[in-house]
A and B are shown apart, each in its own frame.
Chain A
Amino acid sequence: MELLQRFLKGEKPAIARVITKIENGTDPKLLEDIFPHTGKAYYIGITGPPGAGKSSLVNAIVPKLLENNKKVGIIAVDPTSPFSGGALLGDRIRMNDLALNENVFIRSMATRGSLGGLATKTKDVALVLDAADMDYILIETVGVGQVELDIAQVCDTTVVVLVPESGDAIQAMKAGILEVADILVVNKGDRTGADRLILEMKFAFELRVHNTGWHYPILKTTAIENIGIDELVSTIKSHREYLEKSGELEIGRKKKLVIRVNELIEERIKTHLHDYVIDQKQLKKMIDKAYDRKITPHYITDEIAKKIF
Chain B
Amino acid sequence: MEKKIRILIGKPGLDGHDRGAKVIAAALRDAGFEVIYTGLHQLSESIVEAAIQEDVDIIGLSILSGAHMTIFPKIIDLLKQKNAEHIIVIGGGIIPEEDIKKLIQMGVKRIFTPGAPTNEIVDYINSIIH
Taking Cβ atoms with an 8 Å cutoff, the residues of A that contact B are 12-13, 15-17, 19-20, 24-26, 80-81, 84-90, 92-93, 96, 99-100, 105-108, 110, 112
A86 CB contacts on chain B under 8 angstroms: 28-35
A26 to B4 alpha-carbon distance, docked (Å) = 12
Which chain A residue shows the least CB distance to B2? A24
B52 CB contacts on chain A under 8 angstroms: 12-13, 16
- A106 adjacent to B31 (CB under 8 Å): no
A96 CB contacts on chain B under 8 angstroms: 39, 42, 46
A100 to B45 alpha-carbon distance, docked (Å) = 8
A291 to B14 alpha-carbon distance, docked (Å) = 59
A19 to B34 alpha-carbon distance, docked (Å) = 15
Q: Is B121 an interface residue (CB 8 A)?
A: no
- A87 adjacent to B82 (CB under 8 Å): no
Residues 65 to 84 of chain B near chain A (Cβ within 8 Å): 82-84
Q: Is B108 an interface residue (CB 8 A)?
A: no
Most buried by A among B54, B82, B83: B54
A112 to B3 alpha-carbon distance, docked (Å) = 11
A74 to B52 alpha-carbon distance, docked (Å) = 15
B33 CB contacts on chain A under 8 angstroms: 86
B37 CB contacts on chain A under 8 angstroms: 88-90, 92-93
Q: Is B129 an interface residue (CB 8 A)?
A: no
A17 CB contacts on chain B under 8 angstroms: 55
Q: Is B58 an interface residue (CB 8 A)?
A: no
